[in-house]
Amino acid sequence: MNKNTLGIFGLLVAIFAITALLNDKFISAYNMQNLIKWSSLYAVMSIGVAFVIITGGIDLSIGSVVGLVAVVLAYQLKVKGIDPGQAIITTMCMSLLIGLIHGLLITKAKIQPFVVTLCGLLIYRSLGRWLTDNQSLGPVPLEDDKGYANIDTINSLDQIFSGKIAITDSFNLPTPALFLLALGIAAALFLNRTIWGRYLFALGNNEDGARYSGINTDNMKIIAYVICSFMAGIAGILFAFELDSVQPAQTGEFYELYAIAAAVLGGCSLRGGVGSILGVVIAAAVIRLIYNSINMLGISTHLEFGILGIVILLGVMADEFLKRYSAQRAAAKQKES
């Protein structure tokens, strides 16, 4: 854990401690379970956007991708009665394709990421509504629902994506946490232990320089967008099974802002070239924790957004301040020696 990650981890611990102190039910197994579950769902999404932000780009479309993936999945299962495994594969391919299109438009047609993904935000949302005629759909069948094929498979998928694993008598680990663990470790390995991860950092800092070093910067950027959409796709599936109901117009709305906020709070710089997966995951947890604390402490829900905004702002300011301070200290030290 490096210095930046330590800061956000400190924040997590602080809010955690304060809430636990003020409300003794906060640390109940059930609440922890929920906190872990929601944190995992949002963190998966945020990891994806971190990749894009590290390349110096942005992805505003993830909320809509989450929505579209959830819609298409539920549509296939409920309306078309398609084999569940196949349905999952189709939606994953769709999210990969979306990422690929983003990447190609950004690198080959040279349109700015902000524009491409803003249009994506609009288009995918629209597609989902049009496909289902805006009917809400549940991916998981109720007792006497018709139209679903392979109800058993669907139910076991439901167990996989939104089930629980008993750890102790009272504590069950929600399966999304396992997804987060696997994807988070894979992402961190990719970023820090493979040459491609290094290429992403390099091009995020100096794209021309990376290209002159023989790196295929276009391909690397495309990969980043594909990863981002893919993670949003996974999150879409997780959300669909978690909520058991998908509303084409609403599912995933505004999630891009959460994800970007988590990435920034977790130490990614929107200028590119900087970021850590661990930081982003912790930051996603902090955001969920803030929501949970607001509920636990009985603060008006009207203030949720505001508190979140203030925490992010203060977090980023503190980070900026610490960086400058430590740079000064280092300089002073160097001078002494």
Range 271-330, binding a second copy (CB under 8 A): 271, 300, 302-310, 312-313, 316-317, 320
The residues, any chain, with a CB within 8 Å of residue 186's CB and separated by 6 or more, are: none
Question: Using CB distances below 5 to 8 A depending on partner kind, what does residue 205 bind out of another protein, a second copy, none?
Answer: another protein
Furthest-apart CA pair in the chain: how many Å? 78
CB of 235 to a second copy, least distance (A): 20
The residues, any chain, with a CB within 8 Å of residue 323's CB and separated by 6 or more, are: none
Q: Report whether 256 contacts 120 (CB < 8 A).
A: no
Question: Using CB distances below 5 to 8 A depending on partner kind, what does residue 102 bind out of a second copy, another protein, none?
Answer: none
Residue 328 DSSP code:
H
Report the distance separating Cα 261 and Cα 123, nearest Å.
23
Nearest by Cα to 58 from 202, 251, 220, 256: 256
Nearer to another protein, 97 or 135 (CB): 135
Please tell me whether residue 30 binds another protein under the rule CB under 8 A: yes
Nearer to a second copy, 80 or 271 (CB): 271
Nearer to another protein, 97 or 156 (CB): 156
Range 93-122, binding a second copy (CB under 8 A): 105, 109-112, 114-116, 118-122
How many CB atoms within 10 Å of residue 229? 31
Please tell me whether residue 2 binds another protein under the rule CB under 8 A: no
Options 3-11, 116-124, 176-184, 237-245: segment touching another protein (CB under 8 A): 237-245
Site string for another protein, 174-203 (x = CB under 8 A): -------------------xxxxxxx-xxx
Range 180-219, binding a second copy (CB under 8 A): none
Using CB under 8 A, pick the residue from 37, 78, 125, 288 that binds a second copy.
125
Q: Is the dihedral of CA 238, 31, 291, 247 positive or negative?
A: positive
Question: Using CB distances below 5 to 8 A depending on partner kind, what does residue 206 bind out of a second copy, another protein, none?
Answer: another protein
Using CB under 8 A, pick the residue from 136, 171, 307, 318 that binds another protein.
136
Residue 134 DSSP code:
T
How many CB atoms within 10 Å of residue 145? 11
Q: Which two tokens stand for residue 13?
A: 């611990």
Sole residue written with tokens 């498979």: 153
**CA 61 vs CA 116, 120, 229, 258: distances in Å:** 9, 5, 8, 12
Contact set with a second copy (CB under 8 A): 58, 105, 109-112, 114-116, 118-123, 125-127, 129-130, 133-134, 257, 260-261, 264, 269-271, 300, 302-310, 312-313, 316-317, 320
